Structure 1
Amino acid sequence: MQNAKHIYSIFADYLSQYFKTRLAYRADFLGDLASNLISELINLVFIIVVFQHVPLMGGWSRDEIIFIYGFFLVPYALFSIFFGFWDFNERYIIRGEMDRILTRPVHNLAQVCLESIAPDRIFGVISGLIIMGYAAIQLKLDFYWYDPIIFIVLSVSGALIYGGVYTAISAISFFSDSRTGISPMIYNIQQYGRYPVDVYNKIIRFVLTYILPFAFVGVYPAAYFLRKETWYIYAAMTPVVAVIFFGIGLLVWNIGVSKYRGAGS
Structure 2
Amino acid sequence: MKFTLSLFREYIANYIKTKLTYRADFWVEVMSDLLFSAMNLIFIFVVFQHTDSLGDWSQAEVVFVYGYFMVPFGVFSTFFNLWNFSERYIVKGEMDRVLTRPAHSLTQIMLENVDPPSMIGALVGVAIMGSAWATLGMPFDWYDPLVLLVMVIGSVLIYAGLYTILAAISFYSDAPTGIVPLMFNIQNYGRYPIQIYNKGIRFLLTWLLPFAFVGVYPASFFLDRHHDLTMAWLTPVVGIIVAGIGLIVWNRGVRRYRGAGS
TM-score, shorter chain, exceeding 0.5:
yes
Q: Equivalent residues in 2 for 1:35-50 (5 A)?
A: 35-50=32-47
Residues 229-249 of structure 1, C-alpha deviations (whole Å, 9 max, x = no match)? 552110011110000000000
Runs (4+) of structure 1 moved beyond 6 Å? none
% identity of equivalent residues? 53
Does the residue aligned with 1:84 lie in a helix, a strand or coil? Answer: coil
1:119 matched to 2:116? The reply is yes
Gaps of 5+ in 1: none
Gaps of 5+ in 2: none
Q: CA RMSD in A?
A: 0.9
> Using the alignment, how far apart are the partners of 2:2 and 2:178 within structure 1?
34
User: Taking structure 1 as reference, are residues 69 and 229 closer, same or farther at Cα in structure 2, changes over 3 Å only?
Assistant: closer
Counterpart contact for 2:221–2:227, Cα < 8 Å: no
Residues 194-219 of structure 1, C-alpha deviations (whole Å, 9 max, x = no match)? 11111001111001000110100100
| Aligned equivalent of 2:181 | 184
Residues 91-142 of structure 1, C-alpha deviations (whole Å, 9 max, x = no match)? 0000000000001110001001000101111101110011111111110011
Counterpart contact for 2:158–2:242, Cα < 8 Å: yes
| Aligned equivalent of 2:64 | 67
Q: Equivalent residues in 2 for 1:161-200 (5 A)?
A: 161-179=158-176, 181-200=178-197
Counterpart contact for 1:87–1:180, Cα < 8 Å: no
| Aligned equivalent of 2:88 | 91
> Using the alignment, how far apart are the partners of 2:16 and 2:198 within structure 1?
45
> Using the alignment, how far apart are the partners of 2:60 and 2:84 within structure 1?
35
Counterpart contact for 2:80–2:113, Cα < 8 Å: yes
Task: Report how far residue 143 of structure 1 moved.
Answer: 1.6
Counterpart contact for 1:78–1:156, Cα < 8 Å: no
> Using the alignment, how far apart are the partners of 1:54 and 1:170 within structure 2?
40
TM-score by length of 1: 0.97
Does the residue aligned with 1:13 lie in a helix, a strand or coil? Answer: helix
Does the residue aligned with 1:174 lie in a helix, a strand or coil? Answer: helix
User: Taking structure 1 as reference, are residues 180 and 16 closer, same or farther at Cα in structure 2, changes over 3 Å only?
Assistant: farther
> Using the alignment, how far apart are the partners of 1:177 and 1:40 within structure 2?
34
Aligned match of 1:221 in 215, 218, 222?
Answer: 218
TM-score by length of 2: 0.98
Residues 171-216 of structure 1, C-alpha deviations (whole Å, 9 max, x = no match)? 0000112235310000000000011111001111001000110100
